[in-house]
Structure 1
């Protein structure tokens, strides 16, 4: 059993990190150097096909890790082959002028309260776009790493890029030397009470209450490990997923709501909880888009509907748009569910 668990952890680690290698040492800190490097994709590989498609495609055609909504309602899609904006009619690649698709590797996107767009990459640092021009930030500007796979703006307007904190003037790289329990922190949520919830790949989840950092544990004394997504629901309860599935914390008790994994979690306007992730977090290749019924969320066994099922990493980042539609990313692009119909934009453009 121990061997099976170890193998499962290794499998999940490979799944989550195969597109984010060399996080600390061998990253490029100069985009031009990266552009001059010889591509590593084989001509007949899926990656090479996506690169060729990206040159002419009018939709996202590669892995989409995160999706956000701009203040004007546009959909922002962080695709490995570029960050794209959807205005309700068509997509526009916002990053093709700074990194050609064959060299890009975008993971996350955020519009801050000033209206600036931030783009996080796998190995090229951070880009900021003010609507006219780009600024590029790397380890030369104070980043601890050029790998930036998660972006979050807190209530004070400070922006977190994994373990890098930007105060509007400069970057500060936070580590265990600053009191953090992990060197791979990601601020995933600042709740209504001001507590900050941190998760990290294959690391323990912890919370900061303004004074102390606490590694959280379940009733068996076991830390929650490999937490990628956290939300606060309308009642103030915290939802997150780890190797044991989906959890809910009401301020006193941790409840294992489901054995389904949760790479991404959102709560829609009707109160339903949606998740993407592995059907079996400890092993297996099936991933699903799941919906937990709002009326049964606090039942012992909430009613869950599997909306879609696919192969490994078939469903990733998620968003409920202003019109109530559910958007989610996958290994091949972006999809939308309007309550009746699923739209695969890549197939819609005749690319499948």
Structure 2
């Protein structure tokens, strides 16, 4: 189970855009079970095109309108309810559709009826129904992971699935894929539990099994890759269980960053993203949420690596 460091006991929201109800800018709000959240561990967060916030938890899917939570859960005998109460990822795609991962397949939320449409992959033995991660492809379709079975390309119109494992993709270093990221160049970055990163090109979901695409990443700590992100300079940041990786495209150089700042005890980097001020937000397991100022140049000075609140 992937543990989100900034959502273990209470939910801390860093808000820089409007909620569905009222605009609140740059303010930290705390929400917990007593405020209506269904569970104290939040695995994923997204915002839809109507302004609603969605939270994937270990016990249900939560929708927040700025005032109250509405909780969606599975119900025995109801095929239109949430497929499973354990939700690891919730995603709002470019069309405004909400996609939900579960241990019982992939689901799409119908905002008109407030019911779920389910996609199960029992006809494709290579893909398990235990879906752990979902990301958006630039063509509007989805990349998904099912633990131990590599990763897959899901066509949202035809519901066709193309699965990639070590059996048909020789450059894939492990089938235990934890995270995916499609960058601005259309390259798919694949992070594994063993700490390896593979980079692939694709066209319409068809992966090119070519060598020499990936960056020279050789000094990862051998622990799980938790998150991958591309900043506005098109450099890559990689959250690992043993440090924060930085890949500079211009120099084609990879660096593993650590901090010895007082008060920061965790080295387990769980998540990384960029805020509206073009600074990195970095989540540490049992360590909190921090900002990293990456400056105004695409050549980040690694000697300036510093956390701020």
Question: TM-score scaled to structure 1, two decimals?
Answer: 0.62
* Other-structure match for 1:164: 152
Q: Which fold has the larger relative contact order, with Cα–Cα distance below 8 Å and residues 6 or more apart in sequence?
A: 1
Asked if 1 retains the 8 angstrom alpha-carbon contact of 2:195 and 2:240, the reply is: no
Q: CA deviation at 1:289?
A: 1.6
Q: How many angstroms does 1:152 deviate by?
A: 0.6
Q: How does 1:165-184 map to 2 (within 5 A)?
A: 165-168=153-156, 169=158, 170-179=160-169, 180-184=172-176
Separation of aligned partners in 2, 1:231 and 1:299: 17
Write the mapping of 1:207-246 to structure 2, written as runs, cut at 5 A: 207-210=199-202, 211=208, 212=210, 217-218=216-217, 225-246=223-244
Q: Aligned partners of 1:95, 1:105: CA distance in 2, in Å?
A: 9
Asked whether the 8 Å contact 1:228–1:263 carries over to 2, the reply is yes
Task: Indicate whether 1:135 and 2:117 are aligned.
Answer: yes
Structure 2 residue 128 is matched with structure 1 residue 145: yes
Distance 1:239 1:112 in 2: 22
Q: Secondary structure at the match of 2:122?
A: helix
Say if 1:203 and 1:294 are closer, same or farther in 2 by CA, change over 3 A.
closer
Q: How many residues align?
A: 246
Aligned match of 2:301 in 287, 298, 302?
298
Unpaired runs of at least 5, structure 1? 1-14, 18-52, 279-285, 308-352
Could you tell me how far 1:242 is from its partner in structure 2? 2.1
- With over 3 angstroms needed to count, the CA separation of the structure-2 counterparts of 1:243 and 1:58, relative to structure 1, is closer
Runs of 4+ more than 4 Å apart: 96-101, 213-217, 222-225
Q: Residue 226 of structure 2 aligns to a residue in which SS?
A: coil
**Aligned position for 1:288:** 288
Change beyond 3 A, Cα 1:248–1:110: same
Distance in 1 (CA, whole Å) between partners of 2:236 and 2:45 is 21
1 CA distance for matches of 2:242 and 2:216? 12
What's the Cα RMSD here? 3.0
- Counterpart in 1 of 2:6? none
* Unmatched segments (≥5 aa) in structure 2: 4-31, 146-150, 203-207, 260-266
